[in-house]
Structure 1
Amino acid sequence: MSTQQDQTKNPFISILTQPIQWLTMLTHHLNPSFIAGIFLIYGIGQGFSGSFFKLVSDYYWKDIQKIQPSTVQLYVGIYFIPWILKPIWGILTDAFPLLGYRRRPYFILAGVVGLVSASVVAVKGNLAPVAALMCFLGVSASLAIADVTIDACIARNSIEVPGLAPDLQSLCGFCSGSGALIGYLVSGFFVHHLGPQGSLGLMAIFPALTIVLGFVIYEKRAIGLHTEKKQGAMENAGMTIRSMYKTIKYPQAWKPSLYMFLSLSLNVTTHEGHFYWYTDSKAGPAFSQEFVGVIYAIGAVASIIGVLIYHKYLKNYTFRNLVFYAQLLYAISGVLDLIFVLRWNLKIGIPDYFFVVIEETAVRITGKIRWMPMMVLSAKLCPLGIEGTFFALLMCIDSVGALISKWGGGLLLRVLHITRSDFNNLWLAVLIRDILRFVTLVLVFLVPNVGPYEGLLPSDGCEMDKRDGNVDEETLELVPINAKIEV
């Protein structure tokens, strides 16, 4: 008893012990292999591999293929397409079990696709741009399929143990941010010493580990094949699609989905223009390869801080109020980017290296706080039995919005004639982007004004799996169905 009191009084010890206690609580109530899967898919996959791939591929297109920034923005949108197809991967995992398993085979499939794609682009030199694009498409597909599969598990746990829904999203955000931090820190170093093409060989690490996860993650094998019980896989897929269509028609579902789509679509990205400007020795600050990685790493740290702020202080607020103020701060933080591009920071005596840290930190923290409640809301909207498909549908809607954002940004760069060496109108592109972020504020009324622990869908919409006959022994059993937790 006295030891616990000493730990409570000592803030340093508390900072060290609280995360351990939190993870212990999660592994106690959820299957440890599921928690390990989150660390792998979100930490090593989305976090490390995603960030590493982002920087290395940028240098690959710029230095190896010598492509214009607006064209690269188009390419990025193309190999983002597997994320738009997430409902298809969701239907496969929910309605088409293989050898009695619904999740394991798709982890293995994702790993094989990613391993082959990363190996080809790393080993074979002088690839045509189209061939390299196809390899990048395969790497992206590997990440997307693995993401859908683990998201199906997360959505089911968020429904069965609603008190842990915010905690699971916080864990995902923390793993993703931590992995991204490491990926960005080392990516510049590897690009400098191995070159962009050689560095892409490290992308094979994640799919190889995903294959291993497919063999070790706990999943109870169905006694009878799902297709036999449902008179064919196509009939079961049809039921899944009908249930998904019924759910999305609820105002509690389509309104926040529409907001997520519009908020992403209006947030046009000018990333490639910024990247080329960062590295330009005449118009830009001429940051080195290592420092560009450090900039992105700072953003990853800021994202982790945003997750911690949400988890510690904001997770109990209503969705609408939190999203409104977070979007407002996100729009205001974008003005810093405009100041940086116009080089006003130099006029007031703030060096580029210092100002970019301020700008990146502000944007990433507010951006993460803005998005965390929407991820929690998405998980809570998923009915049992079709949780993989419906969560994938919501993420597909997000991905379409993100694709419009990327292609819209690429079109904006092309219209304003922002090239590898001409950045005169980059400030105008940033200004248009910031104005659209403020416009998004008028759409916040679409977000439900409820808390994270309140019910959203009618009871008949949350129990579709029972009426459709989806039995639990065919699903990935991560927690007992009747588990009750006080959080």
Structure 2
Amino acid sequence: LEKELKHLSKEQIQQKSAVEENLKATQKQLKQSIAYAVGIFTICGLFFLIIFIPFLQVISWGTLALIPITGNTFPTQMACILLGNLGASFTEVVSDALVAEFSKAQKEGMLQSYAFMALAAGGILGNLSGGIVLLRSQQPKVMFLTFALLLIVQLGLSLTAREDTFNLPSNSNLCRRHYSVSESLSKQFSNLITIVNEETLYHPLSWIVASIAVVPLLSGTIFCFQTHCLKLDPAVIGLSKVIGQLMVLSATFVYNHYMKRIHFRKLVFWLQIIYALSLLSDLCLVNQINIKLGISNEAFVLCLSALAEAVAQFKILPFSVLFASLCPPGYEGSLFAFFASALCLSSILGGIFGVGLASLIGVTSGDYSRLSVGIILQFVAALIPLGWISYLPAMQTSGKVIKRSKKGLGMG
């Protein structure tokens, strides 16, 4: 891979980066489009999705492991990646819905914390094992094949599992009354709008979405700066992602034991402050302040490069706990599908603003002299959501669970 990369010009590398960014945006838009549909399926066909998800990804990664890597197979590769991302999107929404539903019978926030810990642990193991396989074999196909085999094991376990072991609700109104597809969609959409319009949900949902959307994301620009200007080994940047997941795992553990006692608004306030300050770590790297302090670029990137991303990921946990406690029984899938879609939309907007900001201040592949200005503006933008933090509930349990009967909520 390194030999192949040496033969690529900067323009070709930029074109590949642009294609990857477009694919990520397409993935998020696709996820946004199908997320609500997942909310429908979680009512009548959640067990079906548990089997269908690994099947999608087995096809995707198995095909990538078997087809030759040539220019002629590029469309097939892109289709496989999109298919795999589709399965990952289903996984995220379904897992959120399951966690939200079963968390009502558990201590508040406990199940969400465990889910975040599992997600972080999976990220750590996945990044480490993938990196080790790639470094030793120098063949991405080996990693794809290994992943496909693991998914086959998951598919086998899903096929042998009994549906009643999940204790899934079987008396859904949608299933019992045999509504047509159009009627089901209409009623489910109507109920979703009713739930989201409740102030107890609308205000925190609007805040978390806006807090992500208003911050221009410069992660792609920072990555190019680290690789092109600082000549950092991509393995160092990849390992920093592992450190970031360790941060999420540690923060989730602390939240589960201590932070839940903190008032919700106060907790989110300080998380946003920490997130804004963590963005300034890139400013130290760009201005090489770390070198003046005797800290190498590699060590600095390993320790702090993924801090902002880790804080942004962890910030979602308190909101997930809040929404799970407020959501009426039976509508967890729809609400969390909408929540995931809203987060994806806000991330897309943040990415668009980031590209626009980089172009506006004149940051190019050969000139990063004004990147510091972009980071400072990014820091200021991260503080803007604090202006309307009063819309958040003061306490985690300050709101009551929305009743089905309120404002006509229900399937009739």
What is the Cα deviation at residue 463 of structure 1?
Answer: 11
Which residue of the partner structure matches residue 56 of structure 2?
A: 113
Paired with 1:339 and 1:224, the residues of 2 have a C-alpha distance of 55
Q: Which residue of 1 aligns with 2:109?
A: 166
Q: Does the Cα contact within 8 Å between 2:328 and 2:403 map onto a contact in 1?
A: no
Q: Counterpart of 1:266? A: 214
What is the RMSD of the two structures over their aligned residues, measured on CA atoms? Answer: 3.2
Residue aligning to 1:456: 400
Residue 357 of structure 2 aligns with an amino acid whose one-letter code is L
Q: Cα distance, 1:113 vs. partner?
A: 1.8
Task: Report the alpha carbon displacement of residue 67 of structure 1 after superposing the two structures with TM.
Answer: 3.9
TM-superposition CA deviations, 1:74-104 (whole Å, max 9, x none): 332112223313112111222xx3xxxx212
Matching residue within 387, 396, 399 for 2:341: 396
Match of 1:350 among 283, 295, 304: 295
Q: Quick one: which of 206, 225, 241 aligns to 1:277?
A: 225
What's the CA shift string for 1:327-348, capped at 9, x where partnerless?
Answer: 0111112111211122121123
CA separation in 1, counterparts of 2:342 and 2:378?
A: 21
Alpha-carbon spacing, 1:352–1:153, altered in 2? closer, same or farther (3 Å): same
Deviation at 1:400, TM superposition (A): 0.8
Question: Which residue matches 1:235?
Answer: 183
Aligned partner of residue 230 in structure 1, secondary structure: coil
Deviations 1:368-409 (A, max 9, x none): 553321121222232212221111111211111112122332
How far is 1:147 from its partner? 2.1
8 A contact 2:237–2:301 mirrored in 1: no
In the TM superposition, 1:223-372 aligns within 5 A as 227=175, 229-280=177-228, 283-284=229-230, 286-360=231-305, 362-363=307-308, 366-372=311-317
| Structure 2: distance between partners of 1:432 and 1:129 | 38
Residue type at the aligned position of 1:189: I
Correspondence 1:48-67 to 2 at 5 A: 66-67=13-14
Letter in structure 2 aligned against 1:303 = V
Deviation of 1:415 (Å): 4.7
Contact 1:329 1:366 in 2 (8 A): yes
The AA in structure 1 aligned to 2:68 is: K
> What's the counterpart of residue 159 of structure 2?
215
After superposition, the C-alpha distances for 1:198-226 in whole angstroms (9 at most, x for unaligned) are 53444424543442353244433859996
- CA apart distance, 1:420: 5.0
Moved more, 307-316 or 372-381: 372-381
Query: Are 1:90 and 1:388, in contact at CA under 8 Å, matched by a contact in 2?
Result: yes
CA distance in 1, matches of 2:84, 2:95: 17
Q: 5+ unaligned residues in a row in structure 1: which ranges?
A: 1-57, 470-487
**Contact conserved, 1:258 with 1:446, CA < 8 A, in 2?**
no
> Mapping of 1:146-225 within 5 angstroms?
146-159=91-104, 161=105, 163-192=106-135, 193-196=137-140, 198-205=142-149, 207-220=151-164, 222=170
Counterpart of 2:70 in structure 1 is 126
In the alignment, the residues of structure 2 paired with residue 134 and residue 249 of structure 1 have an alpha-carbon distance, to the nearest angstrom, of: 37
Deviation at 1:134, TM superposition (A): 2.7
Structure-2 residue corresponding to 1:483: none
Which AA in structure 2 matches 1:273?
Answer: T
Percentage of pairs with the same residue:
19
Distance 1:396 1:207 in 2: 25
Q: Distance in 2 between matches of 1:170 and 1:370?
A: 12
The offset of 1:181, in angstroms, is 1.3
> CA contact under 8 A between 1:93 and 1:149: conserved in structure 2?
yes
Which amino acid is the alignment partner of residue 172 of structure 1?
A
The Cα of 1:62 is off from its aligned counterpart by: 10
The TM-score with structure 1 as length reference comes to 0.73
| Whole-angstrom distance in 2 between the partners of 1:412 and 1:121 | 36
Moved more, 330-339 or 79-88: 79-88
Does the CA-based 8 Å contact 1:299-1:364 persist in structure 2? Answer: yes
Count, aligned residues: 398
Q: Report if the CA contact (8 A) 2:244-2:309 is conserved.
A: yes
In structure 2, distance between residues paired with 1:357 and 1:79: 28
Q: Structure 2 vs 1, CA of residues 413 and 72 (structure 1 numbering), >3 Å: closer, same or farther?
A: farther
8 Å Cα contact 2:207/2:389 also seen in 1 = yes
Q: Which amino acid aligns with 1:434?
A: F
Q: Structure 2 residue aligned with 1:90, among 29, 39, 44?
A: 39
Gaps of 5+ in 2: none
Q: Is the 8 A contact 2:100 2:112 kept in 1?
A: no
